[in-house]
Structure 1
């Protein structure tokens, strides 16, 4: 059975962690009390019998007055009667360990007041949100009635349904007709979907007069789609509040009972009476809101089907199934076996020593290494998920995954090892295919294997059917599209996070370019890449492909400067601009050797590396803070071992220097140039994987500091008074 302390931590809302009872610290104070009492017991054993008699008589008196060990006082804030502060007076401070017990109750009071105050503030926010949802329901009722009137299709059954809609959360009973008319006069439809056209109109300041509310079935469907999501999010928020109250009450009960046992007193009853009468425990407002929300949702959004409605409202956890674990292990074993087979075949047939080895490395290897880059990146992402879970980084909330659809590390490893298995099988099929003895050409089918595999991966990614984690695939495709159309969409965290991943996959993008060249110009029939090398257009694209991800990030930074008016995004844009120039100069040097290109590549690459390294460690990771309690780190750390942070900073610096190979033109006789390029690209992917963990850890701590634990759900309707307040 899990001990309460661990269970308490495991059930916390990560973003609210600082607002919970500090159970661990209170236990350390109890340990001090235990130590003090053990010392006093050993001293008492050395006293005279007369002293022992006095002690027994004192203990007897204490048992009579044990109910007066503590006195709980309630102090009401003068400006706000709802703000009550609880203070406990310990009446036996003069005894041995009494001073420590005073500290214990003082700390317990502080923790309890903190919890009670935070809970009350969150309940008040929930009350305001319930009122907002109530207004949205009023608008939906009125809107739906008007749509039905417009279609001239009202029937008796429809009127019954409309009447049912008027039983919203906490609404007062008014005339239906009057309510509908007054509501419709004050609402407009919110534009919850951003489009490139709307962005262009905003930039060009093309503002039309406020559009009239259109009573169409399309708008009605939009409202009926958005409101249930808002209700579900609100209901789950209420559930978290209820759990917050229960967990903290249980923690107080556990710790005060431990105190009674250690200090041999009976203070728990009196203290828990105070807790039971406090707002944290006595208020039933959250429970009532949950019942009303549940009733409204079941009645209006689940056709009065109670079991279906409650199932939709409950939070859904992504279950780890045994077949996922088995399949992951199976594909992992296959991948290892195929790697061993690949090495043995190369060694047994002395492939590395054949004349066709150079041709193979210049043609087929760049095609297959694309899958290697993807597999490595996905494995690093799986490792990130594993450690985020261990250190309670709420990655699902930060990325905005739909609840219950986020992939665990086993799911991600299954995808990576599955792709790795198919890629290795394909590589073995045409590892050392010789030319046809009659035509002196390579067999077309064997040369098309990498293209078939790439087409299969793209087809699975774009597959519209509900197979192979469709929700996650569509989330990825949506973020990818928003990256490509960066200037036309508001930049969210998943958008720039994915764009940052793409900056570490420059060689993978160049491999995709090589696919187009190799198969598009027919070189695959003779297994050669002469066309790709000699074509000036393709050489130009060799430059462009390398800087596309950085260009997208630059555009995202510019969009954020315009919207958020934060100059930090401007400094970030400079980082990507420097990187673009440095990447172009290094590419130019590899294609056109010369002292001028070499010096320019050195200068800009050095400046870009220093700038990017500082940004990684200080801005993205939040480390190297001045005056913090952890030297050269930050005050809050999720990983208990500080050496992990120091090692990550050193590795980041070293791995960012892989560009030195380009300007130094390092060559190794035992490595082909394409192999060396692939190894350096793998180092960059590993660096990005390390960056991912600390970047999201820092984002998580920022959310914790602002207590942001729930998504903001767009609402379909906007009231006139809300617009007035915004203005």
Structure 2
């Protein structure tokens, strides 16, 4: 792999703009190369063309060993002053943003009188610009982590003091040995030393001397810090939310184990994220130094000059090469984490701080291919069976479509959504969208697209096998007496799927299942939980799975009321309670989003959430009116197999009134939601953007894809028109089949939305250079000077 591609692959995605622009400098070197090639051709036109030096890496069996401790510079001796090409000077420049003075480097090209020197001057100007930008970013990040380290010191002092106080409630300030469990005030020690006769005093002095010698190397932890701190009760539970409403976010310490456990978990996460940020900085420094070394070596190779020695010496002597704060902090953080959070177990501590990268397993690829092959075979078998038995014209066709089809369509919606998510993961990974960081997955537990495909294809095999077996059992005369038992097959599949989801054992990606359940619980309990991106992202997925929720409602009614014994859904469809719940079920996902938007609005994070809540409320009105229109049409017999009845019954005033209301509310909600999708969620339709009607930064290489996605989003959002305009079923298409197709189109639209929504979120993180999660600290200190 060429260095340019390797350099890009190892970049931290959120800091990509802060790295040295290797491709830009390489482009400038190509211009120098082209100029020199033309110069050679013009000077000797009659001779054979001379092969000029290229930028491509040449293979060689023998390479010079550069040593292990020589740094990035060339170890060859410096040439005479007459051979010097550049002169790098440092100067102090005021930084207007930070209000400080920074060291800036400027390169003077000493061969400016030579022909074609303009190209090389442009190269060094750009090189200085990149170098100064890298130093400025790195120095700013180092200062940032030093401040965070200072805050973590205070937090650790408070944690150790709290740990001592919880383990020994009788501990007395001001000092206590970190190793011993007892606590003695300084006055008591002095009183013991001065009491008794001379011999006892000498013995006690010797014992105290021994104890003081034993205590050497152990830091004495102060308990005074507990007098100036409070426990941060962040709004992450319904109880803490209520406390925050009444401004009770900070609570006094009660010195119990529950508080200690809470503080340890929070501070442990803070150390893990802080360590990851330090590793990012270390990698950033190393990669940029290596990139400057590579680009200067290429310059020397093209121009046959010796400028790399001087410039790389400047790089080594700069803040980027000389600063060792990050390395020292890494060592101290690792030592502190191992000692205080892993009981001195270095292997456990390093596995936590530096989790191993996931490895692709060939068996996953094998099973994905196997399950997809089985799925295709089962689909072909079902199609052949339907046509061979002429089931489309069978007398029980209507009963089957009204009962069994809605039961199995639930699994179809789930499989389709999983497949769309697998496609999202694939393209997020391909275009380096850091979806794992955005969703907040624990490092190493995120699912790749192959694992997601494994789940989707496995579920599709089970579902298709159930459909095929159900058809066979219904057609076989020997199983006619067991028809009630065969109807329980879909219910069994649902129960198995739910049991696997809540299974506490470490199988079937337990970490991801529990992450999903936690987000689902946060959605159910909205707005009592702090709204994070995974929470409202999951709620948005449910807004596109309304038909799945209605299928679950049908499961409860069909099996709860015993309709499965006669394969007749008239009890459910004819119940007014069922129809009312049918509307409520469709409203629930949108109502959850309304509550989440209001919660974020109350937190003061984003004032636009008021408009977002209004958008979902308008969708609620549109969904309710469309559902009522459909129910009225079914009650009046409009949705039948013949379209003439629909036309003759269209004169009913009540039906036409609700139809016009549904049409108006749906148009308004569609325009509102489409605008929000394209402008707010995707960040597109920017008139003054570098990319017209898109945004300044794009991830996909072709701009046309964004316009196609916008058009598809609009068209797929208009799928509701089949409900309002009466296109409910044709001659060969049952109404439930049409509903399933429309629901599938909405799932596909949501899959497209997912990719561009996360792309926009990723670019926002890139703009803010946000590559590490911000973990709330457990303690807040009133007076920092006192703690210090």
TM-score normalized with structure 2 length: 0.85
Structure 1 Cα separation of the partners of residues 755 and 232 of structure 2: 36
Relative to 1, partners in 2 of residues 1:251 and 1:438: Cα closer, same or farther, differing over 3 Å? closer
Pick one of 651, 658, 664 that aligns with 1:597. 658
- Residue 555 of structure 1: how far off its partner (Å): 1.1
> Residue 230 of structure 2: SS of its match in structure 1?
strand
Deviates more, 1:520-529 or 1:123-132: 123-132
Pick one of 651, 658, 661 that aligns with 2:722. 661
Pick one of 218, 224, 233 that aligns with 1:182. 224
> Residue 715 of structure 1: SS of its match in structure 2?
coil
Partner of 1:698: 760
Structure 1 Cα separation of the partners of residues 179 and 777 of structure 2: 26
Partner of 2:607: 567
Partner of 2:708: 647
> Residue 516 of structure 2: SS of its match in structure 1?
helix
Partner of 1:95: 114
- Residue 366 of structure 1: how far off its partner (Å): 0.1
Give matches, 1:300-379, under 5 Å: 300-379=340-419
Structure 1 Cα separation of the partners of residues 785 and 761 of structure 2: 31
Structure 2 Cα separation of the partners of residues 583 and 599 of structure 1: 13
Partner of 2:776: 714
Relative to 1, partners in 2 of residues 1:605 and 1:304: Cα closer, same or farther, differing over 3 Å? same
- Say if 2:523 is the partner of 1:483: yes
Pick one of 670, 677, 686 that aligns with 2:732. 670
Structure 2 Cα separation of the partners of residues 618 and 672 of structure 1: 37
Unaligned runs of 5+ residues in structure 1 are 49-62, 164-172
Structure 1 Cα separation of the partners of residues 367 and 447 of structure 2: 15
- Say if 2:15 is the partner of 1:16: yes
- Residue 64 of structure 1: how far off its partner (Å): 5.9
Partner of 2:492: 452
- Note if contact 2:268-2:341 (Cα within 8 Å) is conserved in structure 1: yes
- Say if 2:448 is the partner of 1:403: no
Relative to 1, partners in 2 of residues 1:662 and 1:43: Cα closer, same or farther, differing over 3 Å? same
Give matches, 1:13-92, under 5 Å: 13-45=12-44, 67-77=83-93, 83-92=102-111
Partner of 1:57: none
> Residue 730 of structure 2: SS of its match in structure 1?
coil
- Higher Cα Rg: structure 1 or 2? 2
Relative to 1, partners in 2 of residues 1:293 and 1:162: Cα closer, same or farther, differing over 3 Å? farther
Pick one of 195, 213, 226 that aligns with 2:237. 195
Relative to 1, partners in 2 of residues 1:177 and 1:108: Cα closer, same or farther, differing over 3 Å? closer
The aligned length equals 696
Relative to 1, partners in 2 of residues 1:396 and 1:66: Cα closer, same or farther, differing over 3 Å? farther
Partner of 1:412: 452
Structure 1 Cα separation of the partners of residues 178 and 125 of structure 2: 61
Structure 1 Cα separation of the partners of residues 508 and 528 of structure 2: 30
Structure 1 Cα separation of the partners of residues 452 and 239 of structure 2: 36
User: How much is the aligned-residue C-alpha RMSD, in angstroms?
Assistant: 2.6
Deviates more, 1:427-436 or 1:649-658: 427-436
Structure 2 Cα separation of the partners of residues 120 and 148 of structure 1: 42
Give matches, 1:157-306, under 5 Å: 160=179, 180-192=222-234, 194-203=236-245, 206-207=246-247, 211-306=251-346
Deviates more, 1:653-662 or 1:440-449: 440-449
Unaligned runs of 5+ residues in structure 2 are 48-78, 183-214, 634-654
- Note if contact 1:442-1:527 (Cα within 8 Å) is conserved in structure 2: no
Deviates more, 1:83-92 or 1:584-593: 584-593
Describe the superposition over 1:678-711 as per-residue Cα deviations: whole angstroms up to 9, x where unpaired.
1111111000000000000000000100111001
- Note if contact 1:318-1:406 (Cα within 8 Å) is conserved in structure 2: no
- Residue 152 of structure 1: how far off its partner (Å): 8.7
Structure 2 Cα separation of the partners of residues 208 and 633 of structure 1: 45
Partner of 1:636: 697
- Note if contact 1:435-1:441 (Cα within 8 Å) is conserved in structure 2: no
Kindly indicate which of the two structures has a greater share of residues assigned to helix.
1
Structure 2 Cα separation of the partners of residues 151 and 217 of structure 1: 15
- Note if contact 1:21-1:248 (Cα within 8 Å) is conserved in structure 2: yes
Relative to 1, partners in 2 of residues 1:379 and 1:125: Cα closer, same or farther, differing over 3 Å? same
Relative to 1, partners in 2 of residues 1:201 and 1:716: Cα closer, same or farther, differing over 3 Å? closer
Structure 2 Cα separation of the partners of residues 209 and 547 of structure 1: 33
- Note if contact 2:231-2:251 (Cα within 8 Å) is conserved in structure 1: no
Pick one of 108, 129, 150 that aligns with 1:131. 150
Structure 1 Cα separation of the partners of residues 608 and 216 of structure 2: 52
Structure 2 Cα separation of the partners of residues 526 and 126 of structure 1: 69
Partner of 2:63: none
Relative to 1, partners in 2 of residues 1:371 and 1:158: Cα closer, same or farther, differing over 3 Å? farther
Partner of 2:164: 145
- Residue 193 of structure 1: how far off its partner (Å): 5.9
- Note if contact 2:277-2:772 (Cα within 8 Å) is conserved in structure 1: yes
Relative to 1, partners in 2 of residues 1:655 and 1:117: Cα closer, same or farther, differing over 3 Å? same
